[in-house]
Structure 1
Amino acid sequence: MKIDFLEKWSFKKWQFKLCLLVLFCLNINTMYGQSIEITGTVKSETEPLAGVTVLVRGTTKGAITDFDGNFTLTANKGDVLEFNYLGYIDKYVTVSDQKNIIVQLEEDLSELEEVVVVGYGTQKKKEVTGAVARVDSETILQTATSDLGTALQGQVAGVNVTASSGAPGAESNIQIRGLTSINGANRPLYVVDGIAFEGDPRLSPSEIETIDILKDASSTAIYGTRGATGVILITTKKGKQGQMKVELNGYYGVQNITSGTPTLSVEDNFYTLFLQSQALNNRTYGNTWTSVERNPYLLTNNTNLVETITNDQAPIQNYNLRVSGGSNGLTYSVNGNFFSQEGVIIKSKLDRFNVRSNTEYKKGKWRIATGLSFRIDDQDSAPWGLMLDAIRYPASGQAIDPNQEAIDEADEGSAAANISYLGYKFLQKDNAETQYFDGSLIADYNFTKDLKYTVRASASYENRTRRLINPKFVAVDINGDEVPSQRSRIRNESSLRKRQTLENILNYQKSFGHHNINITAAYTAEKFNYSSFFGERSDILSNDITVLNGATSDPNAGSGTGRWGQDYEQTLIGMLGRVQYNYKGKYMLSASVRRDGSSVFPANYWGVFPGASAAWNVSDEKLWDPLRSVANSFKIRGGVGSIGNQGIDPYSAFAVITLDNDYALGQGDNENLKLGAIQTGFANPNVKWETSVSTNFGFDLGMFKNKLTLSADYYRTEKKDMLFPVLLPPTAGGGNNAEVTLNVGDMTNQGIEYALNYKQAGKFSWNAGLTFTKNKNRVTSMSGSNKIIYFDDSSISGHDNDQDLTSALAEGYEAGAFFLIKTNGVITNDEELAEYQQLDPNAKLGDLRYVDALTVDTDGDGVPDAGDGVLDVNDRQYVGSGVPEFEMGLNFAAYFKNFDFSMSWYASSGAEILNGNKALAYKSRNHKDLAYAWAPQNDNSPVPVNRGPNHNNFRGFTDYWLEDGSFIRLRNIALGYTIPKKLTEKINVSRFRIYAAAQNPLTFTKYDGFDPEVGNNGISTRGIDKGTYPVSNQFRLGLQIDF
């Protein structure tokens, strides 16, 4: 039979049925695609919650609950709503036909389940046996700085952070549980995503997810020699599976110096000049011949050079863009950052550009992660000592424009020479550009669900070029003669640092019933290279020429020798093992050992560093049941560990030959100078590791469902075989400064730490944290008969010599302790003068009285009870140091509706400061106090008479310049507002926050210098304020936008 398919399937016959099918499909699409308006209420167990974020998963649509916990949004049937609120567990609800929903959030009591990063792995916070602290990204972002250490100040108990300088790009001094070494490294080890860095890795705060700090030796021993100074573990931000997320934030602000050294006006300057002339020559008014009497026109000047070099309202700005996301097992995060900071002193600035890319791919048993980072620093540095020059420049001096290349009528004599020198210094250009790159590859392979192998390979490259230009400055005095000036010059420097690391790690973890075990074994290898080169010439043809060939005289070049530094290569290999065990998460044990080999110690290559710790979660026991309703968690822990320190000059074991020592050859008319060399460092092939043995005991307490937590620790660290440079006598043949490095010193640190935190969730949610640290440092043993060695960079003003050194290493005292001659006020009358002249026959009225220290035992009881009648070095007494007795930090944050508020306080108590700026201003006859100095007409003044810069009244080795360096500072304060999501989602923005913030807006201190935070190099010059670049305050506005 024939079938006509055209007829059978003709469109006309089936058009009605097709129409019905299309309508049905449209109806289905409408049912599943139509938006539904959903209203609801979010509450806790007791009350509605305001400020809860409600987000439609996978979109930017969302809402925030109002004061009564209510919200309204639109979503499709089948969408998933995410409810997120600080202090509560996230909740997910699938949209159905119900248009009104009630959601109850449960408080997050899982703080102890939080995973923290430890050496070569992670652990639940509940199972950690050592002293480990965490700082999150929100805390770090509160501080506007290029330096990570500044962001950590006051945040972690036991971590001391002081500014080495307020200059842009300056790196803070960070000491974890006190000073680690006298001659070696004191900076902590940084580990970024498992890759070790020596020194601050200079990350943008926006790159950082968390920071975990390992403080005790049982935790850091697994890093061996590199963990001697503590370990800072940084986890950078990674991408997450899901839709691409874009985060943009930035701020702009201004900076200012908060205080300073008061200097004299031009009128007071000449009054003090008269007082000095009167004191030196016993003259009276009308019988003097001062510069103002010789040159009355100087009264027309009123120069304040400190104001000239100060850059008021110096801008600071930061912009960050991050893109992240992932799908099909691949996640990515790309972060770009630009930071720019002008210094509060002219000619100083930092521009920094950072890019970091993190990717991770998971498939089957493999996980492969890569990290790439690129950074460019462009830094201008102010001329050395510029602040000191400004402090001593008199108001009667001629005004100087920092940008001019010549000056006419520049006074005469020494005043003209001073102007010429300052003009030359102002023109200096000191620029350094650093290009940094590092890359890492991490591959994990899971042989089984319990056994994993990891290989980490990384390489870093840092190329730094510096160009120092001192153009020619021309000064003509009032007689029309050109003033002799410094020679113009150009100097170029370059250095290259390269590091390669390779780590092979095998990890096995297994649970047998209630028994849990984690075993880690690893082999590591590291190689570091440094090379440098410089070239310089003098006499620039023209200030417009800034290349090396533009100068004509005295060419000089070198590479890694003498005073210009040295090239070196250093290697380190290590083998380590660790076993972690816990039973029911109640009893925890951890033991590790690491064997390191370092090229620094050719005859003592290997060092072995074990560590062990244990902890007991007492609150898991039945005996704790009566207390559980109040104190829900309580853990006690203890540990001991041994670590080494190899952070010294890589060639300390070898002899050092120093060039640049000219030697006269020939006789008579044929005598000439030739480049010579002498041995200034003597070999000690037996130099070995510095070692530290540290014990730690602590507890962690959680109360009221972990709303209130307290962690406390006591520690003691004994450091043995510390490396000291020991000076040799000239007869050794190495000149006056010949030395040899020996393991001859011992030192201890012991202290206590507390960290108290409280958090409260609700309509008004807030959290607060308090940290307390007290560390006591002592040098317990020094070799030989010399039990005190003064640091050669510890004088406090330019006129001082070696007799005026102030800080020292002394057995029985903290490193860097001040030993000064005490003073007892000013001689104000004839009776006091007669008494003091028995000690100093040359003393006069108005002079400073030195104290004859008790050095003579007159009654034979072994205790000195009288002075020896002679003022000399034996009269120096211990008067404290720049190290605080204790430190505290207070952090607070609050959230109400769309507003957020935070502030951070820091307090340092007990440190002393030697006010070198004040001493220099006195010596230079430019401090405001000198207008009120002792004089016959002002015979009750506490300010000594001015008898010239080198008189004992103004010597730098006395406690006259010593001041209390304690201070309380509001480090950060910020107020932010997040625009309601129902408004921002219309432009596809999931978060739009604006904020105002201030950094260091308030400081309470008795110190009358620029700033009481005087860290300098952290040892010999800590607490010595001599032209230190001051720390500034900041005020800024910013915004954060998430798409």
Structure 2
Amino acid sequence: MKKNKSKVLQGGHRILIALFAMFLSLGAFAQKIPVTGQVVDSNNEPIIGASVSEKGTTNGTITDIDGQFTLNVDEGVTLLITYVGFKPQEIKASKNIKVTLEENTELLDEVVVIGYGTVKRKDVTTAISTVSTKDMDQRPIISAGQAIQGKAAGVSVIQPNGTPGGELSIRVRGTTSFNGSNDPLYVVDGVPVDNINFLAPNDIASMQILKDASSAAIYGSRAANGVIIISTKAGQSGNAKVSFNTQLGLNKVSNSIKSLNAAQYKELQDEIGGAKVPEGTTDVTDWFDEVYSTGVTQSYQVSVSDGTDKLKYFLSAGYLDEKGVLDAAFFKRYSFRANIDNQVRKWLNISANVSYTDNTNNGITTGQGSNRGGVVLSVINLPTSIGIYKDEEAGLYNRSFYGMNISNPIESLQNSKNNKTKENRLIASGNILLTFIPELTLKSSFTLDRRNSLQTGFTPPVHADDRDDWGNAWDNRNMNTVLTFDNILTYNKTFNKHGLELMGGSSWTDSDYTNSWINGSHYRSDQIKTLNAANKISWDGTGSGASQWGIMSYIGRAAYNYDSKYLFTANVRADGSSKLHPDHRWGTFPSFSAAWRISSEEFMQGLDWLDDLKIRGGWGQTGNQSGIGDYAYLQRYNIRRIEWFKEDGNGDVQENALPTISQANLPTRDLKWETTTQTNIGVDLTALNNRLTINMDYYYKRTKDMLMWVTLPTGAAAANSIQRNEGEMTNKGFEFSVNSRNFEGEFSWTTDFNISFNRNKLEKLALQKIYNDAWPSDVLKTAIVRNQPGRSLGGFYGYISDGVDPETGDLIYRDVNGNGKKDAGDRTFIGDPNPDFTYGLTNTFSWKNFNLSIFIQGSYGNDVYNASRIDTEGMYDGKNQSTRVLNRWRIPGQITDVPRANFNIENSSYFVEDGSYLRIKDISLSYNFKGSLLKKLGVSRLQPYFTATNLVTWTSYTGMDPEVNQWGNSGAVQGVDWGTYPHSKSYVFGLNVEF
């Protein structure tokens, strides 16, 4: 928003914003006189970067770090002084002048980006949140999605694990799809993309989130989960600006789980009757210290921008290197961006945006249970009495842990260094804007989005008396090219108090995907890691594939505005998708919204404390086709290769053997769009001379014809699965946000707070009534998640545990069905991963040159299924356990909440915990250096800063972190912790320089 800058100018933010307001300085052609002066605010503080120009000409300059300027002008002319956040001022030119700019308290003229256009904030009729980007260069943000967490009401951002470069789970107003994607649509500089991992956060200029259907419906088919519109930085006319940002971060595990020492482990095993541990066994290895280390993050970003009234450019390049707390885990990203805008003629504007990124990471085996090689759990489950190596000189790792099937985490990490996933992505778009008359424009855009991915891995051969591993390797490649061609015609006319906008156009999208994979084994040594050195190439693990899809769309919008008092907007989009059946391929997605600015009515006059009050409401429909294959409605087949080189029963080689073909699925002749209908009512209020802003929204969303995979009874057909429109789901909720300027002056304090309530419910399913999911342990034998109508998604299902029986030490399982015994009928819902509400609070303080920002974020009322405890507290075999089992039941009559060794373990509420948390997410402290030396060097910003992330977390959760989901971005499974890569505390030192 256009914020009041008079006090903020005392912090570093004033320099950044000032440099964005520069205009070109040109010499004059007539007789000139030198004019010098200073521009200050109402507190007599210099304004840096204010524009000073000769009115009616392009002759101008900007103020320096002391607010001073010099300009040669014609004698007797009028000077125009402007700066963002202040009212423009005109003054007669004289040799030495001082100008005091008056604050512009009208914050509602800010222009926000909407679908295929812009609108003044005061004229918005829909639910749109703006995410501040002003402190993004002072936070250790790897992905742009992290900048949203806790910053926008109605938007939930969860980082399911702490893996370097790991994905985020972003939900706008709840989960709307069961099997499909629940990610919002990302639109970067007008280009729809599937994720924003490629985007360097420092390149972002603005972020808007379209939350309701009336705002998002213009994107129709892909907007069911909301839309996040991102605009990257552009060049500004004026002096060239060079910006540099660097960060160095140190990362430590936020929380650890301690294991039993050697003596405690032996005592437990004696009780279980498990591992035969020799007497006198001592501690040899601290597995936690061996596996975890201090992660280091380095980030460097440089940009150059400049412009004239005709040509503007912005160039940036960046490098990010994140080394994880697990030694082998890493994420690296190289990025480059070029944004160019050229006003060729008054009627012709040409612009181009080019973004290229190259990133690399590796996979670390976590969250798969210790008996399957999960590093996180194996650290706890390995006995401390056994060393890392069987033969350190020979490089042979120990694999014998009292007969248990637990991978050595050091060996796993070492091998994972050979596993890499590389991806490079090029997004290039060209835009032409034709202005036929000032009110009528046509914008044509063509975009190429090309991604190349290479995934390689190598496990070395190891031969010893206890093993005979021959080594294996793999090479998986894919390329995806998406072409988009948009043509948008816009008519915008204002006459008297009436405003009218008409927009219409088309959008064409085409996607082409290819992939190939190859696997090999039997290596001579670990020195040559290429597939060329493999002696065997898998005959059935090698192949290639390809697929295509396309969308054709037609778009329309009409908006009417009477004196910014009565506002109405209607959108419609028609989409045709190749993924859906031809008879149901086209979907039409309309929306309507209206707003009434009550504060402009005569009966509201006299309320001096009230600046603006607006009521708005909207209704709309959006579509979804994600989560289904490119040929979802068609009959598809599986092809199985026959081992032609093997002999048949007669001893003959089957040289003429042909592959077998089997039905893969059932065709769906009525497959159509998944459609979400949403109603929204909102109130926007600003008061106390724009020092207080409040936004409130209530919404109701209903998703019909959910696209789902349905499993049919065995024997019903050759294939027993089908993709079809299966069910309905609802989300309803309330959002509240408040922004306040609490103190102004030499000391300033601002507060931003938001809170969101959402209730999700699966209303109905057609064919398959119950979906079971998430089997985190072979011990339990049952799924821990059940989805069925009448419940919210992701509910945990099992037995209710009523504590430990003091007489037996076993868990007491509640007799839910009342038949006097424990059976399957006693299983019920035992937890809900969906929070009652989420919230975020940011307080920003400024005093002289110091700036302090404290960001608090949290969730309340969500449960977490701590499946890790099955392996770390189950006490059923020879695995080491956490120190919590020291409180286990041992004698009759003992009162404890930890059952006996070898207790009657079941999938139950015993493993369900309260996942609520309150976290100090970021504390940032910065200082803005000033002085004559910097002025002489041409440095307009020198700002060192320190940021602590995930500093403190208040929670009753006993796991390593409550912000977790081993199933990642799944909609059907949420809040499950199963040896998940832990989150980290980060301590970041950084520097911002501009000149």
What is the TM-score when the length of structure 1 is the normalising length?
A: 0.85
- 1:93–1:1013 CA distance, 2 compared to 1 (3 A): farther
Equivalents in 2 of 1:42, 1:372: separation in Å? 39
Deviation, structure 1 residue 263: 1.5
Hey, what does 1:1007 align to over in structure 2? Answer: 957
Hey, what does 2:95 align to over in structure 1? Answer: 97
Contact 2:389 2:397 (8 Å CA) reproduced: no
Hey, what does 1:606 align to over in structure 2? Answer: 586
Hey, what does 2:872 align to over in structure 1? Answer: 921
Deviation, structure 1 residue 1029: 1.3
Equivalents in 1 of 2:977, 2:391: separation in Å? 25
Hey, what does 1:758 align to over in structure 2? Answer: 740
Residue in structure 2 matching 1:982, options 918, 925, 932: 932
Equivalents in 1 of 2:540, 2:941: separation in Å? 56
Deviation, structure 1 residue 650: 2.1
Hey, what does 2:558 align to over in structure 1? Answer: 579
Tell whether 2:306 aligns with 1:347.
no
Q: Which amino acid aligns with 2:548?
A: E
Residue in structure 1 matching 2:441, options 428, 448, 452: 452
Contact 1:534 1:557 (8 Å CA) reproduced: no
- Tell me the SS of whatever aligns to 2:606: helix
Tell whether 2:806 aligns with 1:818.
no
- Tell me the SS of whatever aligns to 1:952: coil
Tell whether 2:173 aligns with 1:184.
no
- 1:650–1:317 CA distance, 2 compared to 1 (3 A): same
Deviation, structure 1 residue 184: 1.1
Residue in structure 2 matching 1:525, options 483, 508, 513: 508
Contact 1:247 1:321 (8 Å CA) reproduced: yes
- 1:302–1:85 CA distance, 2 compared to 1 (3 A): farther
- 1:667–1:193 CA distance, 2 compared to 1 (3 A): closer
Q: Which structure 1 residue ranges, 5 or more long, are not aligned? A: 1-28, 65-70, 281-289, 476-481, 830-844, 856-866
Hey, what does 1:160 align to over in structure 2? Answer: 156
Q: Which has the higher helix share?
A: 1
Tell me the alpha carbon deviations over residues 642-682 of structure 1, each in whole angstroms, 9 at most, x when there is no partner: 11111122222233433459899999777999975543422
Deviation, structure 1 residue 185: 1.6
Residue in structure 2 matching 1:911, options 857, 862, 873: 862
Tell whether 2:716 aligns with 1:732.
yes
Q: Which amino acid aligns with 2:974?
A: R
- 1:485–1:875 CA distance, 2 compared to 1 (3 A): farther
Hey, what does 2:982 align to over in structure 1? Answer: 1030
Hey, what does 2:240 align to over in structure 1? Answer: 244
Residue in structure 2 matching 1:491, options 454, 474, 482: 474
Residue in structure 1 matching 2:48, options 53, 58, 61: 53
Hey, what does 1:433 align to over in structure 2? Answer: 422
Hey, what does 1:836 align to over in structure 2? Answer: none
Residue in structure 2 matching 1:423, options 411, 416, 423: 411
Contact 2:44 2:100 (8 Å CA) reproduced: no
Tell me the alpha carbon deviations over residues 370-420 of structure 1, each in whole angstroms, 9 at most, x when there is no partner: 0111111021222352213323222223224999873288658625x7467
Tell whether 2:132 aligns with 1:121.
no
Residue in structure 2 matching 1:555, options 538, 541, 546: 538
Deviation, structure 1 residue 605: 0.8
Hey, what does 1:701 align to over in structure 2? Answer: 685
Equivalents in 2 of 1:401, 1:331: separation in Å? 64
Hey, what does 2:809 align to over in structure 1? Answer: 846
Deviation, structure 1 residue 59: 7.3
Q: CA RMSD in A?
A: 3.0
Hey, what does 2:707 align to over in structure 1? Answer: 723
Hey, what does 2:198 align to over in structure 1? Answer: 202
Equivalents in 1 of 2:88, 2:928: separation in Å? 20
Deviation, structure 1 residue 88: 4.3
What is the TM-score when the length of structure 2 is the normalising length?
A: 0.89
Deviation, structure 1 residue 196: 1.0
Tell me the alpha carbon deviations over residues 846-898 of structure 1, each in whole angstroms, 9 at most, x when there is no partner: 11111111x3xxxxxxxxxxx12232332122233222110111012122221
Equivalents in 2 of 1:601, 1:504: separation in Å? 24
- Tell me the SS of whatever aligns to 2:706: strand
Tell whether 2:830 aligns with 1:879.
yes
Tell whether 2:572 aligns with 1:593.
yes
Tell whether 2:622 aligns with 1:643.
yes
| 987-996 vs 1009-1018, greater mean Cα deviation | 1009-1018
Tell me the alpha carbon deviations over residues 111-153 of structure 1, each in whole angstroms, 9 at most, x when there is no partner: 1111100111000111110001111321433431221221110
- Tell me the SS of whatever aligns to 1:607: strand
Hey, what does 1:462 align to over in structure 2? Answer: 451
Tell me the alpha carbon deviations over residues 456-515 of structure 1, each in whole angstroms, 9 at most, x when there is no partner: 10011111111111112345xxxxxx1125441010111101000001111111123221
- 1:877–1:51 CA distance, 2 compared to 1 (3 A): farther
- 1:733–1:676 CA distance, 2 compared to 1 (3 A): farther
Equivalents in 2 of 1:777, 1:196: separation in Å? 27
| 928-937 vs 51-60, greater mean Cα deviation | 51-60
- Tell me the SS of whatever aligns to 1:427: helix
Contact 1:53 1:63 (8 Å CA) reproduced: yes
Contact 1:451 1:507 (8 Å CA) reproduced: yes
- Tell me the SS of whatever aligns to 1:300: coil
- 1:919–1:978 CA distance, 2 compared to 1 (3 A): same
Tell whether 2:546 aligns with 1:567.
yes
Hey, what does 1:996 align to over in structure 2? Answer: 946
Q: Which amino acid aligns with 2:498?
A: H
Contact 1:263 1:391 (8 Å CA) reproduced: yes
Equivalents in 1 of 2:412, 2:949: separation in Å? 35
Equivalents in 2 of 1:230, 1:403: separation in Å? 55
- Tell me the SS of whatever aligns to 1:336: strand
| 674-683 vs 773-782, greater mean Cα deviation | 674-683
Number of residue pairs matched by the alignment: 935
Residue in structure 2 matching 1:658, options 638, 643, 666: 638
Q: Which amino acid aligns with 2:571?
A: S
Hey, what does 2:11 align to over in structure 1? Answer: none
Hey, what does 1:15 align to over in structure 2? Answer: none
- Tell me the SS of whatever aligns to 1:626: coil
- Tell me the SS of whatever aligns to 1:490: strand
Deviation, structure 1 residue 641: 0.3
Deviation, structure 1 residue 308: 2.0
Hey, what does 2:214 align to over in structure 1? Answer: 218
Q: Which amino acid aligns with 2:558?
A: V
Tell me the alpha carbon deviations over residues 951-1000 of structure 1, each in whole angstroms, 9 at most, x when there is no partner: 633x3x11111111000111111111111143311211111111111111
Q: Which amino acid aligns with 2:538?
A: P
Hey, what does 1:621 align to over in structure 2? Answer: 601
Hey, what does 1:1040 align to over in structure 2? Answer: 992
Contact 2:380 2:880 (8 Å CA) reproduced: no
Hey, what does 1:890 align to over in structure 2? Answer: 841
- 1:403–1:691 CA distance, 2 compared to 1 (3 A): farther
Contact 2:276 2:402 (8 Å CA) reproduced: no
Counting aligned pairs with the same residue, the percent is: 29
Hey, what does 2:370 align to over in structure 1? Answer: none
Hey, what does 2:696 align to over in structure 1? Answer: 712
Equivalents in 1 of 2:84, 2:382: separation in Å? 56
- 1:567–1:391 CA distance, 2 compared to 1 (3 A): farther
Contact 2:61 2:69 (8 Å CA) reproduced: no
Equivalents in 1 of 2:46, 2:924: separation in Å? 19
Equivalents in 1 of 2:150, 2:716: separation in Å? 48
Tell whether 2:490 aligns with 1:507.
yes
Contact 1:407 1:474 (8 Å CA) reproduced: no
- 1:402–1:180 CA distance, 2 compared to 1 (3 A): farther
Equivalents in 2 of 1:112, 1:401: separation in Å? 70
Tell whether 2:610 aligns with 1:631.
yes
Contact 2:242 2:994 (8 Å CA) reproduced: yes
- Tell me the SS of whatever aligns to 1:811: coil
- 1:104–1:571 CA distance, 2 compared to 1 (3 A): same
- 1:431–1:33 CA distance, 2 compared to 1 (3 A): farther
- 1:663–1:542 CA distance, 2 compared to 1 (3 A): closer
Equivalents in 2 of 1:78, 1:538: separation in Å? 79
Hey, what does 2:890 align to over in structure 1? Answer: 935
Contact 1:713 1:754 (8 Å CA) reproduced: yes
